[in-house]
Amino acid sequence: MDHVIETTCRSALYRHNSKWLPYQYDINVYRGCAHRCIYCYALYSHEYIGGGDFFGDVYAKMNVADVLRRELPRFSREPVNLGGITDSYQPAERDCKLMPEVLSLLARYSVPIILCTKSALVLRDLELVGRVNAASGASLALTVTTLDKRVADIIEPNSSRPHERIAAIPEIKKTGAQCGVHLMPVIPYLTSGEDSLEAVFSAAKESGADYVLAGALNLKSATKKAFFDGVKKGFPSEYASICALYNDRDAYRAYKEKLQATLGRLRKKYGMPAYAMPIVPAKPTQMTFFQPAF
């Protein structure tokens, strides 16, 4: 069970200076995330607050809107990513309701937003998403790594089920915002088969998604251990093969090349761009994109 701890923050807008991302600012209204994805890339972030259980101890920044209200008059109106190291619409948001005020402020100050989630709870705030989009542009995405419910139940146990995420896309598009699918991370042996990938592309196309951003699973630090523990428990038959792949540089390179070729074929077949995280400046006509690795 997740434990929601109410806390306060001193700043809301966080500048990360990443060279690889098409935005420089994040707002994380939570620390930790109860979605419990076995491949979670953000586990490291709890180390900055002295450790603890990233999935179980979720910190809710109850004053985030008040702090943001102070910061926005001096902010440069660059695109802001809502949830770099957490999911803004994880279960705690149902009660804490931090996002509506944040979105409302971003709309008032014409700040473009980027938001990716695994939760259909985002549908609650579509009116506000529409307001941000009208003021400055909004680019949303649903992460869908697989449509196989059995696999999703193990790798992403507490998020909305894959079909609910796909069903959210046409609703989001009604706001005028762009909405894509993040088919990432692709997990070898579990979600990397062509049938599995094609099911996501096909559903994305049918739902009216604007793009499919795909990416392989990279394993670093705390994520690596948590991932292998999760695979061992949830997919004992695939455990040895997955470990072997990540311990053999050549085999991993060959796997990635094959994956890239498969994604390229599917992209062509479904006419799906690989646009990732569009930068949405104040004038929507100047939208630019960066190309992911594949």
The contact set with ligand SF4 (CB under 6 A) reads: 33, 35-37, 40-42, 86-87, 118
Instruction: Select 131 or 165, whichever has its Cβ closest to ligand SF4.
Output: 165
Place of tokens 């796997």: 255
- The CB density around residue 270, as the number of other CB atoms within 10 Å, is 17
Least separation in angstroms between CB 254 and ligand SF4: 26
Least separation in angstroms between CB 250 and ligand SF4: 28
Query: Taking the chain, what is the end-to-end CA distance rounded to the nearest angstrom?
Result: 36
- The CB density around residue 86, as the number of other CB atoms within 10 Å, is 25
Q: What are the CA-CA distances from residue 289 to residues 16, 96, 139, 211 (Å)? A: 19, 33, 11, 11
- The CB density around residue 114, as the number of other CB atoms within 10 Å, is 26
Instruction: Select 91 or 137, whichever has its Cβ closest to ligand SF4.
Output: 91
Closest CA to 277 of 128, 89, 113, 86: 113
Instruction: Select 72 or 113, whichever has its Cβ closest to ligand SF4.
Output: 113
124, 168 Cβ separation under 8 angstroms: no
Estimate to the nearest angstrom the gap between the alpha carbon of 107 and the chain centroid.
21
Name the token pair of 216: 């392989």
Beta-strand relationship, 3-7 and 288-290: unpaired
Least separation in angstroms between CB 17 and ligand SF4: 21
Place of tokens 């690889």: 20
User: Quick check: helix, strand or coil at residue 111?
Assistant: coil
Rounded distance between C-alpha atoms, residue 242 and residue 168, angstroms: 32
Least separation in angstroms between CB 40 and ligand SF4: 3
Least separation in angstroms between CB 87 and ligand SF4: 4
Least separation in angstroms between CB 95 and ligand SF4: 17
Least separation in angstroms between CB 156 and ligand SF4: 6
Instruction: Select 86 or 136, whichever has its Cβ closest to ligand SF4.
Output: 86
Instruction: Select 37 or 242, whichever has its Cβ closest to ligand SF4.
Output: 37
Instruction: Select 41 or 235, whichever has its Cβ closest to ligand SF4.
Output: 41
Least separation in angstroms between CB 292 and ligand SF4: 17
Instruction: Select 61 or 131, whichever has its Cβ closest to ligand SF4.
Output: 61
Instruction: Select 157 or 273, whichever has its Cβ closest to ligand SF4.
Output: 157
- The CB density around residue 96, as the number of other CB atoms within 10 Å, is 18
Q: What sign does the dihedral 166-191-22-27 (CA atoms) show? A: positive
